[in-house]
Each structure stands twice: as structure tokens, then as C-alpha cells.
Amino acid sequence: MQLDKIVNYHKALSDPTRLRILLLLCKGEEIHGQALAERLNLSQPTVTHHAAKLREAAMITERRDKNTIYFRMNPEFIRAGSEASLNFIFSKGTQEMEQESPDDNLKESVLRNFFAKDGRLRQIPAQYKKKLIALQFMAEKLAPGTVYSEKELNEFIRQYHEDYATIRREFIMHQFMYREHDKYELNPTEMWTRWENVR
Amino acid sequence: MQLDKIVNYHKALSDPTRLRILLLLCKGEEIHGQALAERLNLSQPTVTHHAAKLREAAMITERRDKNTIYFRMNPEFIRAGSEASLNFIFSKGTQEMEQESPDDNLKESVLRNFFAKDGRLRQIPAQYKKKLIALQFMAEKLAPGTVYSEKELNEFIRQYHEDYATIRREFIMHQFMYREHDKYELNPTEMWTRWENVR
DNA sequence: GATATAATTAGATGTATATCTAACTATTAA
DNA sequence: TTAATAGTTAGATATACATCTAATTATATC
């Protein structure tokens, strides 16, 4: 999973000792383990520990000469990780693909399986994605710009399901509708919950 | 301390749940707490917990409407943190200032206090920075390019201090000298331990 | 004032991890 | 082969923190 790599990148950099090690290496010089331990006032095993983490994240490279292991910074990987992280958070690259079609097959199957032939909702789907599909399907039947009283809205929902209270709450919860002083109104569709970017 | 801010930035991003929250917010939409909790399959307190961390790192902003708190991503700060982190690691900006003068006052005082009038080292400084100053002072008296036998080097060090074994080891440890088959040679001064970037 | 809803705080629990000392391994050199 | 040196591994300890449930606070509405 992509996410874990990003997490590991930031874990590697979220410790003051490791940052200080990188700082010591940032001039490009090589420094060996014992020298690091002494400079940082740490034991050798602790240096080994941090070196392993930095190596796993490809932030340093190592060279052996006799008994001594010299560390050197790997700046390209540090920069690359930073960029990958930003791209991930801002969803560069994957955004376009997932923007469209929230799984049309799923939508079809939910409409087929959860709604009876007479249009009523058999049961409220428990699974998150499916529930949203059912909610959206019903919300689309409401008139944009119209202000509904609670009573009117209950009546509307009752066309589909007896448990209007739950569904009314879900409409609010997932931002299909907005409530003010017991008056209900459809939100603009841009605000309707999106599930494409959940992953 | 500057270091802590960088650590906190990466801590904020080193948890999969928080990354998923940012991912949900990355389209610029607002999402409120309960919706986040449901989407991520977490309890509301857990969302509060993560929201607090993200807010501390200025990665999200919050807006209250009635009882509900809506979160929105703060992309500028996420990018700014990334840049600040790289600048810190690669020591942009501070590098020039600290490049010079490893604390000339300290150097003077060490040379004055630890070396006698006849030039001998009274005692090996225990404090790291001071020890390096004393070592460097002595190392500078060695001839670059010259290969010393262990005996010769011991004699040289003895000019300064009886404990030539310790000082010889320190010369190696801190990369003032290099040893191969009992032959000792001065390292190029670029390799001499630098302390400017320890902080 | 009473009730409902959203969020926060408190406290418990389990896991992750930074650090140390002691023991061990690997490499070099006498 | 033995001794010395650098590094690693094992195990202990303490702290950080992600998560939950239960109780509390804050806001809005009747």
C-alpha cells in the first residue's frame, strides 16, 4: 500500500536524534558510528538503531572500511520522499481517474438489491458506500431550492422507508441536506458526500 | 528550538489515519467530525484526537456552525512545512553564518586554559567541543602528507601529554588522522570533525 | 428550563519506539 | 591464534500515542 511508504518516510524524520544525524551528514562528509555516538552523546547501539531506520528509508548509505562503517547522506531520496508525500496528500496523478464513476457497477447493484420494484427501500444498507448510494438516490428526488418542513420531509422519506428519523438524520449527517430551525433544504450537489477519494 | 517544529511536522504526517483525513479533505471540501468518524470507521473522540494534532501543525482549519465543526485543509502550511523541513535538513540559510568561526572565544579560552605556557596540554578536556579544539590544535602541528610510525607519533604527542595512547586514539576517532598497518597519516583538513553544525 | 446533538475530556489499554547495558559477532592485525 | 576494535543483537525500561468507552461540556431549539 502506498500509504505505508509515506508514513515511513515521515516516521524516519519525526525523531530529533535522526534529524540531528542528518544535520551532521548534510555537508556531504562521511561520519562513522562511534563519532556519531560521541557527538550526539548516545550509545553505539542507539546509533545503530537510528541508522537502521534511516537506511530503511534510503536516507543514508553506508560504506565499510576495515571495522568501521561510514555513513553518508542520500539527499536525492530525502527530496524524492518529500515530493511523493505532497503528491500523495494532494492526490496528484490519481485524482483524474477516480473523479469519475463512483463504481457504476456497485451503484446498479445497490439500486437493484436494496430497492423493491415498487421503489421502496428494503433496508438501509449497513456498508458505508452502499448506504451513501441509497441516500443519494433518494435525495435526488427532492427539489433543489425547496424548503421542507420536518413533517413534509418525513412524508417524503416515508415513500421509501418507515424509519424516516434515521434517514432524515443521515441526510444531514452526510450533507445531502441542511437544517435550520426545523426547516430542511437540499444542499448543492457539490457538497454531497464524495467517496471516490476514500481508497 | 527550530528542531522541534520540524519533528512535529513529520509526526503529524506519520500516522495513517491522519493521512487519510487529509486525503478526504484534499479536494477542498469541508467535512465535519462525525462524517469523518464514520468514513474512517473510528469513534468521534479519535477524530478529535487527530484533529487536534493536525490543528497544532496548522494543517487544517476549523469552522463552527451550530453544534457542528467543519474541517478544511490548509494546503499552504503543509507545503510550507515540507519546504522548511528540507531547508532545515540541508541547512539552507544558517549554513553561511555558522560556516565561519567555530566560536573563536571558546577556542581562545581553551588554548589559554588547557595549554600551559610551555605548550604542554594540562589535561584532556572532557567536554566534547573543547576536546576537539585541543585535538585540532595539536593535529595542526603535524605535517600533511607525512607518514608517521606509531612510535614517531607517540613521541610527537608526548610533547603535549603523557597519555599518548588516548590522544592517538582520539586522533583516529575524530578523523584527524588515518591509520593503516600501524602507519599514521594526517587526513585532509576537510575531513576533520566539524562542530559548527551540531547545534 | 428541558431536550437533543456534536464535540471534548478523562481514563484505560495495548502497541510502538527510544534508550540503555550486557553479551555477542565480525574484522583486522600482531 | 589471540587480542583489539567497531558494530550488532538481546533484553529491559520508560515514554509516547492510537484507540476505545463513559462522562462531561457546549450549542441550539422547543
How does pLDDT run along chain A (199 residues), one tens digit per residue? 578 889 999 999 999 999 999 988 888 888 999 999 988 889 999 999 999 999 998 899 998 888 889 999 988 889 888 988 998 898 754 544 344 455 667 888 888 999 998 989 998 888 877 888 898 889 888 877 677 888 888 888 988 988 888 888 888 877 788 776 677 877 776 666 655 434 3
* A39 → closest Cβ in B39, B86, B128: B128
Please report the pLDDT score of residue A170 as a whole number. 83
Please report the pLDDT score of residue A140 as a whole number. 86
Residues of A in contact with B11 (CB under 8 A): 10, 14
Average pLDDT over residues B108-137: 87
Pair B47, B33: CB distance under 8 Å: yes
Statement: residue B198 has pLDDT above 60:
no
Between chains, do A89 and B22 touch, taking CB under 8 Å as contact? Answer: yes
Min Cα distance B91 → chain A (Å) is 7
- A129 grid coordinates: 458506500
Statement: residue B47 has pLDDT above 70:
yes
* B3 → closest Cβ in A19, A27, A173: A19
Terminal-residue alpha carbon distance, chain B: 10
Min Cα distance B163 → chain A (Å) is 20
The answer to whether the C-beta of A179 is closer than 7 A to strand C is: no
Please report the pLDDT score of residue B146 as a whole number. 67
Q: What is the mean pLDDT of chain B?
A: 82
Please report the pLDDT score of residue B103 as a whole number. 67
**Strand ranges (DSSP E) for B31-160?**
31-32, 60-65, 68-73, 147-149
C22 C1' to A127 CA distance, Å: 54
Long-range (24+ apart) CB contacts under 8 A made by A35-39 are A35/B173, A35/B174, A35/B175, A35/B193, A36/A71, A38/B128, A38/B173, A39/B128, A39/B193, A39/B195, A39/B198
Q: How far is CA B108 from CA B101, B102, B130, B193, in A?
A: 11, 11, 10, 18
Statement: residue B180 has pLDDT above 80:
no
- Look at A177 and B32; give whichever has higher pLDDT: B32
- Look at A47 and B167; give whichever has higher pLDDT: A47
Closest residue (CA) to C1' of nucleotide D27 is B67
- Look at B13 and B96; give whichever has higher pLDDT: B13
Min Cα distance B118 → chain A (Å) is 30
Statement: residue B118 has pLDDT above 70:
yes
Please report the pLDDT score of residue B4 as a whole number. 86
Statement: residue B128 has pLDDT above 80:
no
Q: Nearest 10 degrees: CA dihedral of A156, A157, A161, A164?
A: -130
Pair B186, B177: CB distance under 8 Å: yes
List, edge to edge, every strand of the sheet that includes B68-73.
B31-32, B68-73, B60-65
Average pLDDT over residues B107-131: 86
Please report the pLDDT score of residue A93 as a whole number. 47
pLDDT band at B55 (very low <50, low <70, confident <90, very high): very high
Please report the pLDDT score of residue B189 as a whole number. 66
A43-47, B27-31, B128-132, B188-192, range with the lowest pLDDT: B188-192
Distance CA B105, CA B94 (A): 20
| In chain B, % of residues over pLDDT 70 | 83
**Strand ranges (DSSP E) for B80-152?**
147-149
* B38 → closest Cβ in A26, A128, A197: A128
D4 C1' to B128 CA distance, Å: 25
Average pLDDT over residues B35-60: 92
The answer to whether the C-beta of B65 is closer than 7 A to strand C is: no
pLDDT band at B188 (very low <50, low <70, confident <90, very high): low
* In chain A, residues 43-82 whose CB comes closer than 8 Å to chain B: 75, 78-79, 82
